[in-house]
Structure 1
């Protein structure tokens, strides 16, 4: 009787294997479930960790940025072991109010009203760059001075957390961090962090270090003209020199000062949340 039952079980198992209905071993099923669990858990961990990261930096001043670290390793890779960065944190209220106003006038005039992305500026930049590309193609020359549309929030996210480059992964992370920054930081904090991590010269990060290097004074004592020269070298501070501005930087600085006056000058900073 037992032999008959065992034979029946073997026949059923053989039929199942032949028909493709055999279940995988228990160990394989456990491994698949574990893998699926990790695949579901990793995005949750990423969201939680990055949210905590951004939330903490609302209250803690970052001692350095990802761009600073990358620049240090770049110098080491080039054999420049004597390379030193200039950086010192300065609270927004201890800076000249001309500095944040100059940054907004130069980089992101809709900073106070947008939520991290200026879609109107993006469309204008796209149309401008397309026109410049068509003209360059007609002349047979390279395209020059393409217009960007990154907001100060996006630049803060990129400089503070990410690496340079144009990959879709980096752009996606930049967008995610921008959303977090706008959701968790007030506008004053975004502007404060940006003013302290922006590169104003090769190895010179933040308005305080830039003020000392280029004007031999603290950031609190910068005039509107000096602040506009710092903002004018962005986004190419390794090419232009705020201390010895050429014709292009002088023209750009004058345009920034006009925009600063239209924004309301230093009093504009007090209108931020």
Structure 2
């Protein structure tokens, strides 16, 4: 029974991924869980999400996102194994340092090590579309399968289009159009290179940078991404 249920779930996932090649997804698993979280919080919030086709998104934005998030996006097959190996090694080293600090400070609360990932844009899309945010071996395995399916059935421009229309850019802010209007009061088609770079830098921690728009790191990293965007080919 478990095997049958597992195969049925894979079939549903496969159909959802294949459909995304032609049908614009109305929402993602992450968006629905985030809407539920915001509703339960009881805090005032506004939902912003407006799908726009790729031609209505300034080319500066995908270039900035590639420069910031996934430099090998146009070449890799969805998963960069070397990046995952490097991220695993960094996580192991940080975990060891956290354990040493805990041993040196008995009785004191020591913050756990901050884990870093090696996810490509396609992996991020796979996770956001259909999976939960938990970090388990089983979920990462499912993410890998979905990633390979996305790369099989969708071309790179379509993957980027779906990603940019659903990625989170703040509490209740999803997609390039909502982000452009929320932070710069312009449509996504009119984003400048600097504005696009700033949005790209926000992606790893959008809620944090939404609360700290004057962050020195945000400003400095934006300049770095601006410098890298010239090397990114995208049309």
Matches of 2:219 and 2:55, distance apart in 1: 27
Map of 2:151 onto structure 1? 182
Maintained 8 Å contact 2:21/2:158? yes
The residue that corresponds to 2:186 in the other structure is 217
Task: Find the structure with the greater CA-based Rg.
Answer: 1
Q: 1:138 to 1:254 in 2, by over 3 A?
A: farther
Whether 2:26 is the aligned partner of 1:57: answer no
Q: Deviations over 1:29-80 (max 9, x none)?
A: xxxxxxxxx5664454334332222111111111111111101111222234
How far is the alpha carbon of 1:213 from its aligned partner? 0.6
Q: How does 1:21-100 map to 2 (within 5 A)?
A: 41-80=4-43, 82-100=44-62
What is aligned with 1:194?
163
**3-state secondary structure, aligned to 1:49:** helix
Q: Which residue number in structure 2 is paired with residue 253 of structure 1? A: 222
Indicate if the aligned counterparts of 1:67 and 1:162 stay in contact, CA closer than 8 A.
Answer: yes
Q: 1:116 aligns with which of 75, 78, 81?
A: 78
Residue aligning to 1:203: 172
Helix, strand or coil for the counterpart of 2:169?
strand
Task: Give the number of aligned pairs.
Answer: 228
Query: 2:106 matched to which residue of 1?
Result: none
Contact persistence 1:214–1:242 (CA under 8 A): no
Gaps of at least 5 residues in structure 1 are 1-37
What secondary structure, in the 3-state scheme, does the structure 1 residue paired with 2:213 have?
coil
Compare relative contact order (CA 8 Å, sep 6+) and give the higher one, 1 or 2. 2
Equivalent-residue separation in structure 1 for 2:131 and 2:47 (angstroms): 18
Of residues 123, 142, 156 in structure 2, which corresponds to 1:154? 123
1:101 CA drift (Å): 0.7
Residue number in structure 2 paired with 1:20:
none
SS at 1:199 equivalent: coil
Q: Tell me how far 1:242 sits from its aligned partner.
A: 8.8
Shift of the alpha carbon at 1:124?
Answer: 2.2
Q: Which of these residues, 179, 204, 213, is aligned with residue 244 of structure 1? A: 213
Give the drift of 1:99.
0.5
- Displacement of 1:257 in angstroms is 1.2
- Contact in 1 for aligned 2:13/2:130 (Cα 8 Å): no
> How far off its partner does 1:244 sit?
2.5
Report the more deviating stretch, 100-109 or 244-253.
244-253
- Per the alignment, residue 65 of structure 2 pairs with 103
The 2-side partners of 1:160 and 1:244 are apart by 28
Q: Tell me how large the CA RMSD over aligned residues is.
A: 2.2
TM-score (norm 2): 0.88
